[in-house]
């Protein structure tokens, strides 16, 4: 009985962190999708912010909810759908010209796109300007109940990525990432597939933003910034950029890490200087761990070879063909 009560207290105390971890995992996947096709796109925060603004505007100005009542879940799904459609349309418009760039030039172009959206949102009346939109209606009583939406979204996203990596489109993404000229010579359309990957990532980011607007109860231009781009990229780099499990693991770990360090600092018996450093310098430790992770795990924690070893260890079966372990021979 006491263990049950303790576990309930744990989930209530860290409900914000737990739901944020799930959102971070999906945002890592939104950046991983264009990276599958070799595109270093940092536009996910822009689409995330756009999805949040769509949900915040719809829930406060379009849909009417009685005071004290819960925001209907059906309206939330409508907001998610509208966010997905509008983010997809904008991604196609931006992606067709922007994805002709490569490498650092594409990264700079997508950073500029995020900044344009941020500046526009700061100067529009409908988005609340610099103040943003407050009192976004809540569909649930507690933050932890957002897992009813967030967890199925993450599971469906992972199932989609699992099938995508083993599909013909996933193998085309890999071919473009490894050698775009060779892929083009083999009949794979690079522009089409790169825009497709970019659009799928935008859709996922916009859907997460729509739910996050309700979760955070407020939405403003600070939700889509360059800092967020770096954080999402860290999820992929630390977790692993060659399989969808990597960004999920990276998002979960890196989102929980600051709170874990805070909890370690509260353990009794630690020297005062160490406890203070863990509390005040946890973001410094966070940055150091990112640097060390990229040095000692250049391909991330989870790689296709690692998954193959785990599969042989437990299943004793040959690895299934994926977009990373199938060699395309011209």
pLDDT in tens, 142-194: 999 999 999 999 999 999 999 999 999 999 999 999 989 999 999 999 999 99
Mean pLDDT of 297-312: 83
Do residues 254 and 238 lie in contact, with contact meaning Cβ atoms separated by under 8 Å? yes
In which band, very low, low, confident or very high, does the pLDDT at 117 lie, cut at 50, 70 and 90? very high
| 263 within a domain of the structure (yes/no) | yes
The pLDDT > 90 percentage for the chain reads 53
pLDDT surpassing 80 at residue 87: yes
CA distance 55 to 117: 16
pLDDT at 193: 94
CA distance 196 to 149: 25
pLDDT tens digits, 207-261 = 999 999 999 999 998 888 888 888 898 899 889 888 999 999 999 998 998 888 8
Mean pLDDT of 126-149: 91
Q: Is 282 left (phi over 0), alpha (psi -120 to 50) or beta?
A: alpha
pLDDT surpassing 50 at residue 76: yes
Secondary-structure breakdown of the chain: helix, strand, coil percentages, each rounded to the nearest 5: 75, 0, 25
Which two tokens mark 202?
């935008």
With the C-alpha atoms ordered 130, 131, 136, 141, is the resulting torsion angle positive or negative? positive
In which band, very low, low, confident or very high, does the pLDDT at 91 lie, cut at 50, 70 and 90? very high
Mean pLDDT of 198-205: 96
What single string gives the DSSP state of each residue in 107-130?
HHHHHHHHHHHHHHHHH-TTTTTT
Which two tokens mark 273?
């200087």
CA distance 238 to 298: 8
Q: Which residues contact 16 (CB under 8 A, 6 or more apart)?
A: 143
Look at residues 206, 244, 238 and name the one whose alpha carbon lies nearest to residue 224: 206
Mean pLDDT of 308-329: 62
Do residues 220 and 128 lie in contact, with contact meaning Cβ atoms separated by under 8 Å? yes
In which band, very low, low, confident or very high, does the pLDDT at 322 lie, cut at 50, 70 and 90? low
pLDDT at 82: 96
pLDDT at 227: 85
| 319 within a domain of the structure (yes/no) | no
| 3 within a domain of the structure (yes/no) | no
In which band, very low, low, confident or very high, does the pLDDT at 330 lie, cut at 50, 70 and 90? very low
In which band, very low, low, confident or very high, does the pLDDT at 308 lie, cut at 50, 70 and 90? confident
101-139 burial string, b = 16+ CB within 10 Å, else e?
Answer: eeeeebbebbbebbeebbeebbeeeebbeeebbeebbbb
**Lowest-pLDDT range, 7-16, 119-128, 300-309?**
7-16
Do residues 40 and 264 lie in contact, with contact meaning Cβ atoms separated by under 8 Å? no
CA distance 279 to 264: 9
- Number of domains the chain is built from: 1
| 300 within a domain of the structure (yes/no) | yes
pLDDT surpassing 60 at residue 63: yes
CA distance 233 to 244: 13
What is the residue range of 56's domain?
Answer: 17-314
Q: Which residues contact 123 (CB under 8 A, 6 or more apart)?
A: 129
Which two tokens mark 285?
């430790």
DSSP run (H or E) holding 299: none
pLDDT tens digits, 269-289 = 778 888 888 777 766 877 787
DSSP run (H or E) holding 218: strand 218-219
| 106 within a domain of the structure (yes/no) | yes
């Amino acid at each position: 009985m006491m263990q049950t009560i303790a576990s309930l207290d744990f989930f209530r105390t860290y409900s914000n962190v737990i739901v944020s971890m799930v959102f971070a995992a999906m945002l890592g996947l939104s950046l991983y999708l264009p990276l599958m096709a070799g595109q270093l796109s940092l536009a996910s925060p822009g689409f995330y912010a756009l999805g949040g603004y769509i949900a915040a505007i719809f829930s406060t100005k379009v849909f009417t909810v009685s005071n004290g009542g819960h925001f209907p879940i059906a309206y939330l799904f409508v907001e998610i759908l509208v966010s997905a459609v509008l983010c997809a349309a904008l991604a196609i418009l931006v992606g067709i010209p922007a994805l002709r760039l490569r490498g650092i030039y594409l990264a700079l172009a997508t950073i500029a796109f995020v900044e344009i959206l941020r500046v526009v949102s700061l100067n529009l009346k409908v988005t609340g300007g610099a103040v943003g939109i407050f009192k976004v209606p809540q569909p649930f009583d507690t933050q932890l109940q957002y897992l009813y939406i967030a967890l199925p979204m993450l599971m469906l996203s992972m199932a989609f990525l699992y099938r995508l990596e083993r599909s013909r489109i996933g193998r085309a993404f890999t071919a473009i990432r490894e050698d775009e000229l060779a892929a083009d010579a083999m009949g794979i359309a690079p522009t089409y597939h790169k825009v497709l990957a970019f659009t799928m990532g935008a859709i996922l980011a916009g859907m997460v933003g729509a739910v996050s607007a309700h979760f955070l109860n407020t939405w403003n231009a600070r939700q889509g910034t360059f800092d967020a781009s770096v954080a999402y990229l860290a999820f992929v780099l630390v977790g692993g950029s060659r399989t969808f499990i990597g960004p999920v693991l990276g998002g979960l770990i890196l989102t929980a890490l600051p709170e874990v360090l805070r909890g370690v600092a509260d353990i009794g018996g630690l020297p005062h200087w160490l406890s203070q450093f863990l509390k005040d310098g946890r973001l410094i430790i966070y940055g150091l761990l990112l640097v060390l992770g990229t040095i000692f795990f250049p391909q991330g924690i989870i790689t296709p070879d690692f998954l193959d070893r785990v599969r042989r260890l437990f299943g004793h079966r040959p690895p299934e063909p994926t977009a990373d372990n199938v060699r395309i021979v011209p």
